[in-house]
Each structure stands twice: as C-alpha cells, then as structure tokens.
Amino acid sequence: MSDKPMDRRRFFRRGLQELIKPLADAIAPLEQVANQLGSMEAKLSKPAPPSQKPTIKLQSPPAWLRPPGALDEAAFASTCIKSGECVNVCPARCISIDTTGKKGNGLPVIDVNHMPCVVCDGLYCMHACPSGALVPTALADIDMGTAKWREMTCVRSQGEDCTICVDRCPLGSAAIELLEGKIHVIEDGCIGCGVCEHACPTSPKSIVVIPKAAKV
C-alpha cells in the first residue's frame, strides 16, 4: 500500500457515496412503484372506447300474393275497402281476407298452398271490386308475381322426369317450358298465379311464386 496520503477530495467523495447508498437503495423501489402508478393512471385516463351495440337486422315484412289486377302494394292497401266482393265471386275460392290482420295485413290475399288462382275465364274478382283496388286487366298483362324454379330440390335433379309444373300451368308455354332438361320460367309470360307451386310434389316446394311486392 502506498504511504502517500489519500487525496482529501477523493476521501470525502467516497464517504459521501457510502452515506448516500442506503438512501438510493430505498428510493429505487419507490421509483418503480411511482412508474407503475403513472402507467395505471395513464391507462385509466384514456377515454373508454364506445360500446359497440350488436347489429340488429330488421326483417322485411312478408310480401303477399294479391288477386289479379291488384294495384301496387301501397296503393292497394290504401284503396281496398275490404268489402269481400272479390272473395265472394271467386269460383276457385282462392281469395281470402283474414279479419285478424295477421295474414295479408287484413287485405285480400291468395295462399297458393291452400288454393292458387286458376285464372278463370271471367276474371270475376277484378270486375266485382267496388273500390278500384283490383283493376280489370287483360290476361297477358296480369302481374301477381313470378315463379322461380329451385333446381336443387326438384326431383328432376334426382333423375325423375317430372313436368307437373309445366303441364298444369294455365298459360302453358307462354309462361313455362322444359328447356334442355330444365324447368325454364318465362318471366314476361308468367303472371304468378301459383298453380305450379300448388301442384309441385316436393317439400319444400321446388317452384315458388315471388309476389309482385317482393320484386320492387
């Protein structure tokens, strides 16, 4: 060891370090706690993200098949007086009025599963309507809806030679035909009477009428 006396500044510096060391060791954990508290405070001070409400898909009201010659749905609803004359004169008894309003909103409606419109020769319902909700219309210009073929459920897709929908159509080849082995609905010719859907032997039906109101 050197006999040279220790530099006075160095001596005091070492002494001061030894004195401060316990204090620094005590402060270090406090700084860690302070940092953690600061981090938590920053997180809490952030605005909460807006709550995302689940998206509710509103279902469209069902479109009903109306008698031949019916006005567009809104005009039909505001014009029809529910006299029941169309129901009374229909020879096929396919038109009905549900007084509870659950079916067809309480207006004249055709349920093809019960009985389709047979497009009678007189088209009596049109002429009997007292309010003008049903307008006398030429057969070719009637537009109750349009039939749609569902190939996947049709027995023809299973190899059966079924042509019931084609054979029963009151408008014949003007509305529906067998084309290259498939059922082909001619949209400009189909009036949406529902005879094809009523006669279809499958469940669910492999050909269905899309009402005019659903096509808008």
Distances in Å between the Cα of 53 and the Cα atoms of 38, 50, 57, 58, 93 are: 32, 9, 12, 15, 48
- Cα-Cα end-to-end distance for the chain: 106
How much is the pLDDT for 164? 98
How many other C-beta atoms can be found within 10 angstroms of the C-beta atom of residue 115? 17
Longest dimension (CA), the chain: 137
How much is the pLDDT for 3? 47
Q: How confident is the model at residue 58 (pLDDT cuts 50, 70, 90)?
A: very low
Domains along the chain with CATH numbers? 73-215 (3.30.70)
* Residue 192, burial from CB neighbour count under 10 angstroms (0-12, 13-18, 19+): buried
Q: Which residues pair with 134 in a beta bridge?
A: 70
pLDDT, averaged across the chain: 84
Residue 198 has pLDDT above 60, yes or no: yes
pTM of the model: 0.71
- Note if the bond before 204 is cis, omega within 30 degrees: yes
Flag the least confident range among 53-57, 98-102, 167-171, 201-205: 53-57
Instruction: Find the mean pLDDT for residues 108-120.
Output: 97
**What would the pLDDT profile of 129-169 be if each residue is shown by its tens digit?**
999 999 999 999 999 999 999 999 999 999 999 999 999 99
Nearest CA to 211 out of 196, 187, 192 is that of 192
